[in-house]
Amino acid sequence: MSARLALTLACTASDRTRPVLDGRVPVPGVELNALVGEPEDIFRRALRDRAFDVAELSMGSHIVTTARGDAPYVGVPVFPSRAFRHSAIYIRTDRGIRTAAGLAGRTVGLPEYQQTAALWVRGILREQHGVDTRRIAWRTGGERVAIALPEGFDVRPLGEDLDAALSAGRLDALIAPRPPECFARRSAPVDRLYPDYRAEEVAWHRATGFFPIMHCLAVRRDVADRHPWLPLELFRAFAEARALALAELRLVNVLRVSLPWIAAAYEEQAAVMGGDPWPYGFARNREEVAAMVRYAVADGLAARPIPPEALFHPSTLHETA
C-alpha cells in the first residue's frame, strides 16, 4: 500500500469543517495535520510565509494576489465562511449620519482595506446606495500583504488602535466584522448604521441572491502542481462535511446545536434562502465571485478585471455540491 500524502491544513473550526478536521470525512490519499486557528493569523501566515499546504483564505486577498499575478495559492470553490455584512458598519451617532449616503466624505476605519468584509461593504455602498467610496477617507489598522493603489484613493494606516480612535471621535465610522469594544460596552456614542440589520440583510439578499462569500479553501500552488488530483478530492471531502452539518440542523429528536428553537430558525432560513443556503461549487457561485472581482477593481485593489475562473483550480470548475 502506498503511503498517504502528508499535508498541513489550516482553517477555522465550524460545523462545516469539523468533519474533515476530526477525520470523520477523510480526504482520499491524504493524511491531514489539521491546524485550527483564527482567520487573521491563518491568512497572515499563509500569504506572507506560505506556511500551509492547504488553507482557508481571505477571498479579498486571493483576488488581489491573483489579479497581480503573484498568488501563492489556488482556490477550491469551497466557501467555509460566508456572512452578511450590513451589521458590520458602526457609526458615531453624534455626526449626523442617518443613512449610507451619510458616509460620503467621512473618515472611516477598517482593519484592512483588502479585508473581504470591507470589500463587500464598499460594493454595497456603491451599487445599492450610490455612495462614491473614493470620497471616503479610509484609515486602516495595517495590511496582511502589501497593496498598491492608483491615485485618487485616500487609504492610509491610522497609526493607532481603531477602537480607541472611534471611541475618541477621530473616526466617524468603522467597518469591522468584530464589534468594537466601545460599542459592546456602550462607552461612546457608537451604534450600528443599521440597528435592524437582519431586515436590511434579508432585503438585500432577496434583491441580489447573494450570501456574501468571505473565505475560500485554497491549495499552495506548488502542492497543487505536484498533486493535480488534490483540489478535486478536497472539494468532495469538504462538500460531504458541509452536507453532514446541514443535515444535523434538521435533527430535532436530540438537538445537535445549542439553540432551543433551531428547527424554527431553520424553517425561517429556508423560507428566505431556500433549502441549501451554503452553496459550494464554481457554477453556483460564479455571479457572486464576479461581483467581488468587480468590487476589487472599483476599489483599486485589482488593476484589471480577471475571469472568476482564474481564482480556482481548473479541475474543480465543473463540480457541484
156 CB neighbour count, 10 Å cutoff = 11
Phi, psi of 173 (to 5 degrees): -160, 165
d(CA 254, CA 241): 20
H-assigned helices in the chain: 18-21, 39-49, 59-68, 116-129, 162-168, 181-184, 197-208, 221-226, 230-249, 262-273, 282-298
Task: Report whether pLDDT(7) > 60.
Answer: yes
- What average pLDDT score do residues 69-82 get? 97
Span 82-140, pLDDT tens digits: 999 999 999 999 999 999 999 999 999 999 999 999 999 999 999 999 999 999 999 99
Tell me what the pLDDT averaged over the chain comes to: 96
Which of 43-57, 117-131, 165-179, 264-278 is predicted with the least confidence, judged by mean pLDDT? 264-278
- Mean pLDDT confidence for 173-202: 97
Residue 64's CB: how many other CB atoms inside 10 A?
Answer: 26
Within 13 Å, how many C-alpha atoms sit on residue 320's CB side? Answer: 4
Percentages of the chain per state (helix, strand, coil), in multiples of 5: 40, 20, 40
CB 292 within 8 Å of CB 59: yes
pLDDT for the residue 275: 77
Q: Which residue has the higher pLDDT, 39 or 274?
A: 39
Is the pLDDT higher at 167 or at 2?
167
Tell me what pLDDT residue 321 has.
85
Question: How many whole angstroms separate alpha carbon 86 and alpha carbon 204?
Answer: 9
pLDDT at 1 over 60: no
CB atoms within 10 A of CB 199: 11
